[in-house]
Amino acid sequence: MIEMKYVINVSVKNNNAPADGESFNSVSVICLDNKDFKPVAGLEVILSALSIGGTAFFKETDTTVYPAITNSIGLVTADIADIVAENIVIKCHVKSDPISQDTAALTFRKPTKTFEITRAANLNRTFLYGEPTVSWAGAEFTLYTDGGSGDIEWSTNNIISEVTIRPNANQSASIMINADPGKNIRIIAKDRVTGESDAYSFYLHSFIQSDRQKHTFSEAKEKFGDYLLPVSTYEKVFSQWGNLMVYYIWSTAVDDTYWTRELIPNSAQNDENVIDQVESRDFERVIVFDVKTGVKSIANTLFNKKYFMYAID
């Protein structure tokens, strides 16, 4: 039996590139002396890309064969491309000693569109990037992706309980906001096959709450004071989330308008002249907000009982 003069090891550095003729898998070859196992510099080796149709090729030569010489530490590296999605074999042997050889397998996958998160949407609206900026416990929206392999891993930036992610079957994920995170949230989607990733970030400036019980305005004001939402926050909720009737947590508490904290003097003739002030005996009317339609109006009396929202910083 003829003994090999050299120990050859072919190892994969990069694998699973798309078969587009432009993306590369890569290998490294280390050559050692079979007696003392020291690296052999200046050794001529031949690398071959073995594919079914001969479509795989080396970047270095643009052919299926790559003659190379080991460097000072007995190393050779090579990049390989293909135009067919398939598994191939890379073989390396020593030119002067063909039995000193080794092989490694590479995979070229079917080319795909660039993987990306395309939009974030709730049941009513598509968010602008960076939204939502206002939310509540139990609010949920969906992140949609396109491209890639469809095998996606979802994660967040060290958020465990405040925000949870539920992967869906259509390359999307449902994002549930359970509590106020108190910091910027970054949702990361990574394609397990292609290695591509994308992220979606948002920060909640307001985290709203409600006991979903009706109260008189004086009761609401006594309990929460300036924590009651102003009209501008209600408008932001509606602009980002739409009709709250469709969300389960609000579905039993949106058959009436909600108190805001903004009061109007009896003498005001124009309902649009909204004045945001503290309670006074001169103030008897309150701007209310319809969370189904996004329309604000004025309550006829403070003795009505209505729902309200509040946000505690």
* Extents of the domains making up the chain: 6-109, 116-206, 211-308
Residue ranges in 27-103 assigned as alpha helix (H): none
Dist. CA 120–CA 173, nearest whole Å:
10
* pLDDT higher than 60, residue 269: no
What is the pLDDT averaged over residues 303-307?
86
How big is the CA angle at 285 (ends 283 and 290), to the nearest 5 degrees? 145
Amino acid at 272: E
How confident is the model at residue 1, as a pLDDT?
Answer: 60
How confident is the model at residue 160, as a pLDDT?
Answer: 75
Range of 155-159, 200-204, 216-220 with top mean pLDDT: 200-204
CATH class of the structural domain 6-109: mainly beta
Residue ranges in the chain assigned as alpha helix (H): 217-224, 231-241
How confident is the model at residue 157, as a pLDDT?
Answer: 84
Residue 14 half-sphere exposure toward CB, CA atoms < 13 A: 13
The pTM of the whole model exceeds 0.85: no
Dist. CA 110–CA 19, nearest whole Å:
6
How big is the CA angle at 49 (ends 48 and 51), to the nearest 5 degrees? 140
Nearest CA to 246 out of 180, 297, 293, 203 is that of 293
Which residues are CB-contacts of 156 (< 8 A; sequence separation ≥ 6)? 163, 165, 185, 186, 187, 188
What is the pLDDT averaged over residues 246-268?
81
* pLDDT higher than 90, residue 313: no
Question: What percentage of residues in the chain have a pLDDT greater than 90?
Answer: 77
Same fold? 6-109, 116-206: yes
* Parallel/antiparallel/unpaired status of strands 17-18 and 163-167: unpaired
- Selected from 2.60.40.1080, 2.60.40.10, 2.40.50.70, 1.10.1200.10, the CATH number assigned to the domain covering 116-206 reads 2.60.40.1080
Over residues 12-44, the pLDDT tens digits come to 999 999 999 999 999 999 999 999 999 999 999
